[in-house]
Chain A
């Protein structure tokens, strides 16, 4: 279900999608914030996709001064690489935490990325990485919070498997 107002934010799981910039994203998310903070701390499963993952951190180089949701400690930074940015295309996702339920029966695979910034959490929550002339965060996992840098909805069968794993999580 696609929700456009905060009252509708209920149910077992929340997906924060997103293509766009950090500053504008936080602005659009503002009406949802109190409800979303409540949801995050209540143990509801949340999946942030691309910008949706970025918004879960405390802030981003992309929009200095704008505060993120802050559910994960750390910041969003520009990818450190000599290769062209944005990083666009199919790249290999290497799970770093085999126990992460998103990668259950999926393991590594090619996924579709479109971004110039990536999450650098301060805690040990990186669940998968990819290589783009340097290590790039591909997925994070902390208790009920999940985030993927790639677009599972555009990543063919591999991406659908990741989404299915998220939908099948049980409280």
Chain B
């Protein structure tokens, strides 16, 4: 059977030479965490199952910097790499695949131009096309929306684009189902309410979407420790758990997280480069 995956996420500011990894809280307040390929290598050595690079830059130089970051990373890191942020076209996707990415993640472009999902998955395979959804709870204007009963009351989930800066009224649950139908191979699901809070994943959101699609769902936003990963694997059908700050700031290593999960009966991959 497939193992549950633990995925560190690197939010990359590529406006500086070589890029740098930053981390925000609730999509704001940026803190600096390190050089992308150094962190990627550290996580690989700790047993990460995959690494996600999210480009949060809005500059023109970023494409070359991301290619450089990927090429450097591929020299030492032998696990799947996913790249998201600023991919608007098939050509953008091709560039990051050629630089060594195994999958690309699209959010804004997918919402504004849904046929792009189909186009990318036809060219590179559905497994290479991840649709990223940034979702925020809404407790009003429930009409026509997919309502979820949460401990905080009934709500729907609204998709955001442009890295959390704009909302378009799109229902995240309905969008996830549509994204699968259009050829997405995976959903990277981030709770904007939980992101950076270390209060745990939004279980209601993750459960609602992972039960409605058959493609893997990566839970993201809010992880404060291994107990939150255990919770999301126990309570939902998520295939993977993504975290950033707990790994960046050394609160927990990936190995510690995996040992915690394995002790509680969650199947994870325990293969560390130092052991060979």
Contacts and interface: CB of A to CB of B under 8 A. Distances in A.
Interface centre among B186, B239, B269, B272 (most CB of A within 10 A): B269
Contacts of B168: none
Interface in B219-241: 239
A20 interface: yes
B44 A88 contact: no
B237 to A, nearest CB: 11
**Interface secondary structure of A, over-half rule:** mixed
A91 B276 contact: no
Given A84-B215, A86-B185, A89-B239, A160 B3 contact: no
Contact of B78 (A90, A110, A159): A159
A138 B125 CA distance: 20
A97 interface: no
Interface residues of B, number: 28
A158 B271 contact: yes
B126 A90 contact: no
B1 A157 contact: no
Interface in A151-167: 153-161
Contacts of A158: 271, 276
A109 interface: yes
A98 interface: no
Contacts of A87: 2
A90 B49 contact: yes
B141 interface: no
A16 to B, nearest CB: 18
A77 interface: no
A88 B78 contact: no
A151 to B, nearest CB: 8
B79 A112 contact: yes
Interface string A130-155: 01100000000000000000000111
Size class of the A contact interface (CB-based, 8 Å): 20 to 34
A31 to B, nearest CB: 21
Contacts of A157: 78, 271-273, 275-276
Contacts of A90: 2-3, 5, 49, 269
A33 interface: no
Contacts of A63: none
A114 interface: yes
Interface string A63-102: 0000000000000000000001011111110000000000
B214 interface: yes
Interface of A: 19-20, 84, 86-92, 109-110, 112, 114, 131-132, 153-161
9 contacts: A19-B124, A86-B185, A89-B2, A91-B2, A112-B79, A131-B1, A132-B1, A155-B79, A158-B276
Given A89-B216, A112-B79, A157-B78, 10 more contacts: A84-B216, A88-B216, A89-B2, A89-B5, A90-B269, A91-B3, A110-B269, A154-B78, A156-B78, A158-B276
